[in-house]
Amino acid sequence: MIMGGRKPCCDEVGLRKGPWTVEEDGKLVDFLRIRGSGGGWCWRDVPKLAGLRRCGKSCRLRWTNYLRPDLKRGLFSEEEIQLIIDLHARLGNRWSKIAVELPGRTDNDIKNYWNTHIKRKLIRMGIDPNTHRRFDQQKVNEEEKVLKVNSPKPPSQPEVVVPVVLQNDTSAGNLNELADVDGDDQPWSFLMENDGGGAGELTMLLSGNITSSCSSSSSLWLKYGDLGYEDLELGCFDD
DNA sequence: AACTATCGCAACCGCGCGGAT
DNA sequence: GATCCGCGCGGTTGCGATAGT
């Protein structure tokens, strides 16, 4: 039984699905420009009022994820990425809560970016994206197998896990100046991987708010903004 | 140039929550 | 308390774009 006896929202015959056309976008934007997003209507009524053959839910999604004028498009900045990682460590997959802290970004944007970029890189670094702590080596291998099954493209990077070192001249203050050796076009220097130029070294450069570097036990402590410390325990690679 | 594989994002789906009746 | 209703969330899917062969 459906909770509360709620009807499916999109069961009406003749409703359009799939990608929105420019004309549909225009109608929805016009409606919200005239009526305002403040209220006096509900999303269920929007298709009728705006002259759209869509369900209200689809209209709401289109507006919140794509048409809202305050949306920021384009690549995530380094600061945004760091913030997402920080917030995810604290909040988990509560994308809407995370989105609140990133003005102009939607929960959908953040979720997609997490799943397609950040999560994958964390796993490849041996960090569990759910707990933000390192996997044991067996788990790393398992996760990489899963990645390979889901993404059968041959890896462009060597799959062996290589030792982590911090560059000697790397200080917490100037990390942002370091180049992106990953080859990604993403504007971040976090989660770097071996560029092939070093002697099998994985160089990990972190943007911004590191407050200490490798300890003698080779654990790397990061300060997640005001969230406290996460021990990435990168010394696992020393073995 | 043609074909195939992969990626990334927009959109959909199903569910839970909370307010109203 | 039970039901109705709308909204919002998180997970998943489909497809166009792009890279690789």
Report the C-alpha gap between A118 and A113 in whole angstroms.
7
Q: Please tell me whether any atom of strand B lies within 7 Å of the Cβ of A211.
A: no
Q: Please tell me whether any atom of strand C lies within 7 Å of the Cβ of A151.
A: no
Q: Please tell me whether any atom of strand C lies within 7 Å of the Cβ of A3.
A: yes
**Which tens digit of pLDDT belongs to each residue from A169-222?**
333 323 232 233 333 333 333 443 333 333 223 333 333 333 333 322 233 333
As a whole number, mean pLDDT of residues A91-108 equals 87
Residue A58 has pLDDT above 80, yes or no: yes
Residue whose Cα is closest to the C1' of C14: A18
| CA angle (A190, A192, A198) in 5-degree steps | 145
Q: How many CB atoms lie within 10 A of CB A209?
A: 15
Residue whose Cα is closest to the C1' of B18: A4
Nucleotides of B under 7 A from a protein CB: 5-19
The letter for the amino acid at A207 is S
Residue A150 has pLDDT above 70, yes or no: no
DSSP tally for chain A: helices H, then strands E:
8, 6
Domains identified in chain A and CATH numbers: 14-67 (1.10.10.60), 78-238 (no CATH)
